[in-house]
């Protein structure tokens, strides 16, 4: 299984109401982007209020501690995993310096992190963690002492950062969002009444009854303060956008729109293309919950093969804390998912999943389906084979661990126990409107956008 590294959210209420509850509900919606830790920081113009910690949104926040989060500006964050060895990366990160306070929430990975951090350290900066957000915050604090405004400082720093970043910064009286020039990670602007929101995914706006206004464009900075909402084009159009195509395949919720495209519709269309590329005779099409479901629907629509709910998901399993032997991992898969014997017994099943990483999960799933009575399992994968790791913050393991690097397609098929195996061809992305000149597909092609310049 892959994991996205983070989700961010910000809110600014021009009417002066407290924004914490909206941020809480928004983070709930973004929970799939990170289950390791979460936090909210609010600003009531007198002081900052922080609640953050390890755990899920419903574990960290309570009615009581949410009540302490007063203020009309706020920032929230959910974190999947942490790149450093320490545990100090829980965001948002708050810091105080000569210009007051600064709070930052970030999704992404800075690829020139070591170089920039070493530069700061040689100038006397002290770090609490190896969090990229902390390093960016330090850079903004330094830049702020040399510029006229917080937004200017953010834009100055953004020019020096390489890699992927969607960042929300809260200064004493401003909320500022910035997205890297490639736009790797999604970030949108929404509005309800006189309250404006930033969020990693538009689904977060739906739950708080806000309307999506626009995406923060790749390279754009947006500032919200008492003067209103101001857009800065500073980094826009400097490079060809390269939004993460895997957001459509796996990371994002199906009810989100990324840069105007429906994630749900993209998945249905990809499922249709998957059938056209890898047809097979079978009795039922089964999707692996949750991200495989809509691909399976598309596959069923296009093929005319009946769609069946062949796997039941236990919705109450949160983070998988079970690690260790393959046997224990198999049990962990069975706790999360169980085969629905009535839907698959004696049948030839097309099993549709978003990707194969190491191959262990697919092998366990196929065993589950076969143990549930399926006669044959034809595995269909709604993305091309993973061949490269991701330097932009998505948790794809080292190349050597990727099934498609270690084996050819038939080798993978045998190792996972499938009767046949088919992957989505790269060209199918373009046919569903995800054009290669707008999207990063480096984990499939090795064409890292910032190395193509
Ligand atoms: S390398 Fe893959 S996962 Fe990483 S940003 Fe590009 S498409 Fe997304």
CA distance 369 to 102: 51
pLDDT in tens, 212-252: 999 999 999 999 999 999 999 989 999 999 999 999 999 99
pLDDT at 323 over 50: no
Give phi and psi for 451, each to the nearest 5. Answer: -100, -5
Candidate of 107, 243, 245, 247 to mutate for ligand 1, largest count of ligand atoms within 8 Å of Cβ:
245
Return the biggest CA–CA distance within the chain. 71
| pLDDT, tens only, 340-364 | 999 999 999 999 999 999 999 999 9
367 and 230 assigned to the same domain: no
CA 394 / ligand 1 centre spacing (Å): 7
| pLDDT score recorded for residue 66 | 98
Q: Has residue 136 been placed in a domain?
A: yes
In ligand 1, the atom with minimum distance to the C-alpha of 449 is 6
Written as one string, the DSSP assignment of 347-402 is: -EEEEEES--SSSHHHHHHHHHHHHTT-SEEEEEESSPPP-S--TTS--PPPGGG-
Q: Are residues 296 and 429 in the same domain?
A: yes
Q: Are residues 40 and 144 in the same domain?
A: yes
pLDDT of 316 reads: 74
394 lines ligand 1 (CB under 6 A): yes
Taking the centre of ligand 1 as the mean of its atom positions, its distance from the CA of residue 257, in whole angstroms, is: 18
Residue 439 lies in a domain: no
Min mean pLDDT across 7-16, 148-157, 323-332 is at 323-332
Q: Ligand 1: which of 443, 444, 445 to mutate, most ligand atoms within 8 Å of CB?
A: 443
Q: Quick one: residue 232, left, alpha or beta (phi over 0 = left, psi -120 to 50 = alpha)?
A: beta
pLDDT class of 329 with cuts at 50, 70, 90: low
On whether both 10 and 141 belong to a single domain, the answer is yes
Q: Residue 62 burial by CB count (10 A; 0-12/13-18/19+): exposed, middle or buried? A: exposed
Sign of the dihedral through C-alpha 317, 318, 322, 327: positive
Question: Encoding tokens for residue 57?
Answer: 């949104």
- CATH code assigned at 389: 3.40.50.2020
Q: Judge if the beta carbon of residue 444 lies within 6 A of ligand 1.
A: no
Share of the chain above pLDDT 70, in %: 93
Q: Are 308 and 285 in contact (CB under 8 A)?
A: yes
Q: Please indicate, yes or no, if residue 246 is contained in any of the structural domains.
A: no
Tokens 């105080």 appear where? 96
Q: Is residue 248 part of a domain?
A: no
Q: What percentage of the chain has pLDDT greater than the value 90?
A: 85
Strand partners, 338: 312
- In this structure, are 326 and 426 located in the same domain? yes
Other Cβ atoms within 10 Å of 341 Cβ, number: 14
Contact between 380 and 352 under an 8 Å Cβ cutoff? The reply is yes
* Domain annotation covers residue 249: no
Residues 86 and 235 both lie in one domain: yes
Model confidence pLDDT, tens digit, residues 121-167: 999 999 988 899 999 999 999 999 999 999 999 999 999 999 999 99
Q: Rounded to whole angstroms, how far apart are CA atoms 155 and 149? A: 10
Q: How many residues does the chain have?
A: 453
The total of structural domains in the chain comes to 2
The first and second tokens of residue 244, run together, are 């993460």
| CB of 244 sitting under 6 A from ligand 1 | yes
- How remote is the CA of residue 244 from the centroid of ligand 1, in Å? 5
CA of 362 to the centre of ligand 1 (A): 21
**For atom 8 of ligand 1, which residue has the closest CA?**
244
What CATH code is carried by the domain that includes residue 211? 3.60.20.10
156 and 302 together in one domain: no
The gap from C-alpha 421 to its chain's centroid, in whole angstroms, comes to 27
Structural element, H or E, at residue 54: strand 48-54
Q: What predicted TM-score, i.e. pTM, was given to this entire model?
A: 0.93
pLDDT per residue as tens digits for the range 361-409: 999 999 999 999 999 999 999 999 999 999 998 888 889 999 999 999 9
Is pLDDT at 322 greater than 70 in this prediction?
no
Q: Which of 184, 398, 435 to mutate to test the pocket of ligand 1 (most atoms within 8 A of CB)?
A: 184
- CA 190, 191, 195, 196 dihedral sign is positive
Evaluate: CB of 440 within 6 angstroms of ligand 1.
Answer: yes
Across 243-267, average pLDDT: 95
Q: Of 173, 205, 239, which residue constitutes the final position of a domain?
A: 239
Domain limits for position 415:
264-434
Q: With 0-12 CB in 10 A as exposed, 13-18 as middle and 19+ as buried, what is 452?
A: exposed
- Residues 408-444 have pLDDT tens digits of 999 999 999 999 999 999 999 999 999 888 999 999 9
What are the two backbone dihedrals, phi and then psi, of residue 189, each rounded to the nearest 5 degrees? Answer: -115, 135
Residues 365, 408 within the same domain = yes
Q: Which atom of ligand 1 is nearest to the CA of 388?
A: 1
- 3 state SS of 294: helix
pLDDT at site 108: 94
Helix 293-303 vs helix 263-277: crossing angle, to nearest 10 = 50
DSSP result, 412-423: HHHHHT-SEEEE
Give me the active site residues, please.
6
Residue identifier of the C-alpha nearest atom 2 of ligand 1: 443
- Omega of the bond leading into 62 within 30 degrees of 0 (cis): no
Could you check whether the bond before residue 92 is cis, i.e. omega within 30 degrees of 0?
A: yes
User: How many A from CA of 439 to the centre of ligand 1?
Assistant: 9
Whether residues 99 and 55 fall in one domain = yes
Ligand 1: does its nearest atom lie under 6 Å from the Cβ of 177? no
Among 373, 363, 368, 366, CA closest to 343: 373
Across the beta sheet with 211-215, what order do the strands follow? 48-54, 37-43, 73-79, 6-13, 195-199, 188-192, 211-215
Q: 143 with 273, same domain?
A: no
Mutating to test ligand 1, I would choose from 184, 258, 392 the residue with most ligand atoms within 8 A of its C-beta, which is 392
What's the CA-to-centroid distance between 352 and ligand 1, angstroms?
21
> Angle, to 10 degrees, between the axis of helix 326-336 and the axis of helix 360-371?
60
Domain-located, residue 202? yes
20 and 54 in a single domain? The answer is yes
Atom of ligand 1 nearest to the CA of 444: 2
Q: Tell me how far apart the alpha carbons of residues 367 and 416 are, in angstroms, rounded to a whole number.
A: 8
DSSP string, 143-161: HHTTSSSHHHHHHHHHHH-
Residue 244 falls inside a structural domain = no
Ligand 1, residue 396: give the atom nearest the CA.
3
Q: Helix and strand tally (H, E) in the chain?
A: 17, 24
pLDDT digits (tens, 9 = 90+) for 72-111: 999 999 998 655 444 567 999 999 999 899 999 999 999 9
One domain, residues 197 and 279: no
- pLDDT, tens only, 188-209: 999 999 999 999 999 999 999 9
Closest among 441, 325, 331, 340 to 388, alpha carbons compared: 441
Residue 298 lies in a domain: yes
CA of residue 433 relative to chain centroid, distance: 20
């Amino acid at each position: 299984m892959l994991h996205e590294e983070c989700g961010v959210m910000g809110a600014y209420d021009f009417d002066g109401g407290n924004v914490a509850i909206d941020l809480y509900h928004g983070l709930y919606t973004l929970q799939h982007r990170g289950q390791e830790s979460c936090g909210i920081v609010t600003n009531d113009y007198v002081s900052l209020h922080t609640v953050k910690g390890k755990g899920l949104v419903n574990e960290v926040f309570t009615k009581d501690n949410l009540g302490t989060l007063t203020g009309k500006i706020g920032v929230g964050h959910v974190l999947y995993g942490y790149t450093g060895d320490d545990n100090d990366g829980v965001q948002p990160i708050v810091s105080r310096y000569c210009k007051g306070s600064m709070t930052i929430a970030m999704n992404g990975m800075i690829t020139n992190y070591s170089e920039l951090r070493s530069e700061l350290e040689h100038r006397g900066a002290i770090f609490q963690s190896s969090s990229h957000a902390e390093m960016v915050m330090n850079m903004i604090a330094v830049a702020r002492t040399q510029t006229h405004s917080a937004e200017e400082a953010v834009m100055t720093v953004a020019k020096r950062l390489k890699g992927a970043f969607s960042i929300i910064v809260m200064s004493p009286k401003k909320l500022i969002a910035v997205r890297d020039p490639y736009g790797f990670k999604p970030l949108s602007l929404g509005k309800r009444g006189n309250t404006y929101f930033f969020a990693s995914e538009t689904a977060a706006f739906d739950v708080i009854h806000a309307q999506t206004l626009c995406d923060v464009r790749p390279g754009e900075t947006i500032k919200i303060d008492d003067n209103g909402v101001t857009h800065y084009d500073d980094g826009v159009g400097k490079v060809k956008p390269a939004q993460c195509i895997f957001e459509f395949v796996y990371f994002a919720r199906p009810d989100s729109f990324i840069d105007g495209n429906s994630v749900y519709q993209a998945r249905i269309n990809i499922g249709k293309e998957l059938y056209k590329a890898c047809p097979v005779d079978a009795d039922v099409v089964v999707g692996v919950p949750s991200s495989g479901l809509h691909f399976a629907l598309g596959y069923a629509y296009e093929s005319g093969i009946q769609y069946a709910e062949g796997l039941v998901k236990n919705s109450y399993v949160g983070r998988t804390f079970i690690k260790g032997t393959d046997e224990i991992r198999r049990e962990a898969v069975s706790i999360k998912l169980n085969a629905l014997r009535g839907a698959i017994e004696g049948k030839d099943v097309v099993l549709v999943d978003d990707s194969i990483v190491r191959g262990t999960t697919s092998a366990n799933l196929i065993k589950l389906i076969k143990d549930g009575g399926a006669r044959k399992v034809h595995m269909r994968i709604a993305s091309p084979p993973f061949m490269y790791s991701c330097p932009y913050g998505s948790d794809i393991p080292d190349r050597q661990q990727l099934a498609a690097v270690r084996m050819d397609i038939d080798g993978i098929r045998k190792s996972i126990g499938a009767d046949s195996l088919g992957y989505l061809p790269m060209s199918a992305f373009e046919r569903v409107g995800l054009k290669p000149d707008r999207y990063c597909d480096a984990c499939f092609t090795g064409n890292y956008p910032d190395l193509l310049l």
